[in-house]
Chain A
């Protein structure tokens, strides 16, 4: 079975974990007195999860092979970092976290199969995982049926809420509305051209954007809306249309490898992003790595986290991440959200005083994480996070410069009234 002695792990961590494992028998021989306040397993685990006196097992379920691997690797790394830090700080209810990693292989049914394995076979107390909406939709019935707990890191389209999922990324309104208000107010933008890859997240996001532009922003209008198949690399015709209609803002939700073609063709067509406002909600530092900073410099992105954020939590997080995974790694919005998963779970378990899924689900609302790299976050009754919306401007070195952030945390609203 897969465990922490995986070849993919960089050696320092591996050595540490091996040392940790070697120490485990000693710990269990010492028994209770080693951790004075460790509650009995029978009391904190009444439903047969994989919890022992010294250990608790969680699952990590992401694609490490296939087309999504490039996006999901950051999440895996962040989750492993969080788990290591939690273990170094004494674990959860006195128990070290052990993780079992499974590969979703960028294939939705494989995600469902592996999710079932993690819940039914391995009895994982929680699972950190999934990235695309399609993979989440595939595993959701599994988590609901076998009563598991999923910490899902990606910003997504909303329209979902489950007792068995904590959404640590933003739902669509958190990412869209504040950004549109900002661009309208500070740039005086009146006309918008909406672009997107053709699947549920960009379509739903653009629907919300359109409703907000038409109904809530004075005198603003959408002058075009177009979608492209996933993986598409031909954007010349839409770029020509953009040149003709001259929108104040290009609003782009293009994902994956298509981004590279889109921004390069935009540049080649002579659209200068230092003059033409472009606002995206789909390009994080990870994507810029592929696009090339010089091709996208000047574009604005609306996220909740940028690697460049200047706060004490982030100043500790970024070096720790780079120390574990290499100097060249970049940290995007989703990677940070994935890092929140294990921590929120730990805090919730300690609030509930139990690993039981039902108790965790009930205890989740109101759980606060003050150490989040993005700043303070809190879980809402609807299992999404209260977080700030931020606008950053891409620089040629591949980093974002923070331009604007909302004064307060934005309430998550997965079923927004008036936007459906």
Chain B
């Protein structure tokens, strides 16, 4: 049975609260430096939303989302780098017109796979399609063979490690461990100015809400129900005649595309891309953001990405030598005390009170609403 409304009341509340925060409160109260940091944090929220779909609902734990984040980010970075490496800008190189790191590595011509990134529309398509295609291959190879659970998590991690080694090793083609740096303009528009950062922030927030709505849509359709059913009893779904593998592949691809959008925005916001976002550690961090926010909640993922990164920044500014311990303690505390993350705290403690308040005022039962928010575990 599909819910007659797109958002139930508590979700609508969450949607509005987030919209007010991101569209009004933060842009009005923060200076451009802090707002740019928020924009950076939010790029991880895209990954988080994908993880809610594929891990929270589909039960597919991917510890390699950094791969897709990185692919999206690198696609964008390649376009920006080519624009920054015009012949006029690179006169001092032995081969003008190619990115500086290629010149340092004695390349004399642009490699073939860089050439399509001269075009902006192709770049945008690549940001969406390259990770989706990659996820499709991984997903098909794994899920068709019924590799799942822990084994799938390990394999995604291995892929993250392989991609990092590949990028670091092929530095003539990828910029190596330095990454692709010194990005300047997007289609002739300088992305480094304060004004551009301000606009990019809003572009990103709009995209984020687009992804939230898309994820909510997937969750509410029959597809979302099948994902939950698969997570709970995979065999029953299979025996009912559904192709479990195809649904899993879809969820995995969708998560990959969300992550890639986040990665592309990251490149624009931060101004460079490096293999340090592709590897195992960032991939696990992304899972942690989602776990802290609550893996069953789309909004929780956004809050998790915002709050954990905010804590990271402020702790490291205040205690440069000790902050990592503080952050670690925070994770342990959250996971031990609140296994459903922030959204669990909300659903278990805050929501019932609000409902009770509303119920006493309207003398109406709130039972139906609580059932909607809680995971079917």
Residues of A participating in the B interface, judged by any CB pair closer than 8 Å: 1-2, 6-8, 64-65, 101-103, 105, 107-110, 112-114, 116-117, 120-121, 133-134, 137-138, 140-141, 145, 157, 159, 198-200, 203-204, 207, 229-230, 415, 420
Contact of A198 among B168, B179, B182 (CB under 8 A): B168
Complex CA gap A230/B171 in Å reads 13
Shortest 4 CB-CB contacts between residues of A and residues of B? A103-B320, A134-B178, A120-B33, A137-B181
- Give 13 A-B pairs besides A8-B320, A230-B177 with Cβ atoms closer than 8 angstroms: A1-B318, A2-B317, A6-B321, A65-B320, A102-B317, A102-B320, A103-B316, A103-B320, A113-B313, A116-B33, A134-B179, A141-B271, A198-B176
Which B-chain residue is minimally distant from A100 (CB atoms)? Answer: B317
Contact of B271 among A1, A102, A112, A120 (CB under 8 A): A112
Complex CA gap A207/B94 in Å reads 15
- Residues of chain A with a CB closer than 8 A to B171's CB: 198-200, 203
Contacts A65-B323, A145-B192 given; does A138 touch B181 at CB 8 Å: yes
> In the complex, how many angstroms separate the beta carbon of A420 from the nearest chain B beta carbon?
6
Which of B46-54, B99-107, B230-238, B250-258 contacts the other chain? B99-107
Q: Is the CB of A203 within 8 A of B105?
A: yes
- Pairs A–B under 8 Å by Cβ, sample size 6: A2-B319, A105-B324, A108-B272, A141-B181, A200-B177, A203-B105
Contacts A8-B321, A109-B277, A199-B171 given; does A102 touch B316 at CB 8 Å: yes
Q: Is the CB of A2 within 8 A of B318?
A: yes
- Residues of chain A with a CB closer than 8 A to B181's CB: 137-138, 140-141
Would you call B322 an interface residue if the criterion is a C-beta within 8 Å of the partner chain's C-beta atoms? yes
Complex CA gap A134/B274 in Å reads 9
Complex CA gap A137/B178 in Å reads 7
Complex CA gap A7/B40 in Å reads 30
A-contact bits for B220-248, CB 8 A (1 contact / 0 none):
00000000000000000000000000000
- Residues of chain A with a CB closer than 8 A to B313's CB: 113
Would you call B37 an interface residue if the criterion is a C-beta within 8 Å of the partner chain's C-beta atoms? yes
Which B-chain residue is minimally distant from A3 (CB atoms)? Answer: B318
Residues of B participating in the A interface, judged by any CB pair closer than 8 Å: 31, 33, 36-37, 40, 92, 94, 100-101, 104-106, 165, 168-169, 171, 176-179, 181-183, 192, 270-272, 274, 276-277, 313, 316-324
Q: Is the CB of A199 within 8 A of B168?
A: yes
Which A-chain residue is minimally distant from B193 (CB atoms)? Answer: A145
Contacts A112-B271, A113-B313, A199-B176 given; does A107 touch B33 at CB 8 Å: no
Complex CA gap A102/B165 in Å reads 29
Q: Is the CB of A141 within 8 A of B169?
A: no
Contacts A8-B321, A117-B33 given; does A230 touch B272 at CB 8 Å: no
Complex CA gap A157/B270 in Å reads 25
Contact of B270 among A6, A109, A200 (CB under 8 A): A109
- Residues of chain A with a CB closer than 8 A to B176's CB: 198-200
Complex CA gap A140/B165 in Å reads 25
Which B-chain residue is minimally distant from A145 (CB atoms)? Answer: B192
- Residues of chain A with a CB closer than 8 A to B179's CB: 108, 134, 137-138
Q: Is the CB of B324 within 8 A of A65?
A: yes
Complex CA gap A191/B37 in Å reads 52
Which B-chain residue is minimally distant from A204 (CB atoms)? Answer: B104
- Residues of chain A with a CB closer than 8 A to B183's CB: 141
Q: Is the CB of A200 within 8 A of B101?
A: yes
Complex CA gap A140/B183 in Å reads 11
Q: Is the CB of B272 within 8 A of A65?
A: no
- Residues of chain B with a CB closer than 8 A to A112's CB: 270-272
Which B-chain residue is minimally distant from A73 (CB atoms)? Answer: B321
Contact of B106 among A120, A121, A207 (CB under 8 A): A207
Q: Is the CB of B105 within 8 A of A1?
A: no
Complex CA gap A3/B181 in Å reads 30
Complex CA gap A157/B371 in Å reads 61
- Residues of chain B with a CB closer than 8 A to A198's CB: 168-169, 171, 176
Contacts A109-B276, A200-B171 given; does A141 touch B106 at CB 8 Å: no
> In the complex, how many angstroms separate the beta carbon of A57 from the nearest chain B beta carbon?
14
Contact of B182 among A105, A137, A204 (CB under 8 A): A137
Q: Is the CB of B182 within 8 A of A101?
A: no
> In the complex, how many angstroms separate the beta carbon of B119 from the nearest chain A beta carbon?
24
Q: Is the CB of B320 within 8 A of A64?
A: yes
Q: Is the CB of B168 within 8 A of A109?
A: no
Q: Is the CB of B316 within 8 A of A105?
A: yes
Q: Is the CB of A159 within 8 A of B33?
A: no
> In the complex, how many angstroms separate the beta carbon of B92 from the nearest chain A beta carbon?
7
Complex CA gap A204/B177 in Å reads 14
Complex CA gap A420/B106 in Å reads 8
Which A-chain residue is minimally distant from B273 (CB atoms)? Answer: A109
- Select the residue from B106, B317, B320 with max chain A CB neighbours within 10 A: B320
Q: Is the CB of A138 within 8 A of B274?
A: yes
- Residues of chain B with a CB closer than 8 A to A2's CB: 317-320
Complex CA gap A114/B320 in Å reads 11
Q: Is the CB of A138 within 8 A of B272?
A: yes
Q: Is the CB of A415 within 8 A of B92?
A: yes
Complex CA gap A109/B276 in Å reads 8
> In the complex, how many angstroms separate the beta carbon of A7 from the nearest chain B beta carbon?
7
- Residues of chain A with a CB closer than 8 A to B105's CB: 203
- Residues of chain B with a CB closer than 8 A to A230's CB: 168, 177
Which B-chain residue is minimally distant from A135 (CB atoms)? Answer: B178
- Residues of chain B with a CB closer than 8 A to A199's CB: 168, 171, 176-178
> In the complex, how many angstroms separate the beta carbon of A160 from the nearest chain B beta carbon?
9
Complex CA gap A293/B116 in Å reads 52
Q: Is the CB of A141 within 8 A of B182?
A: yes
- Residues of chain B with a CB closer than 8 A to A133's CB: 178
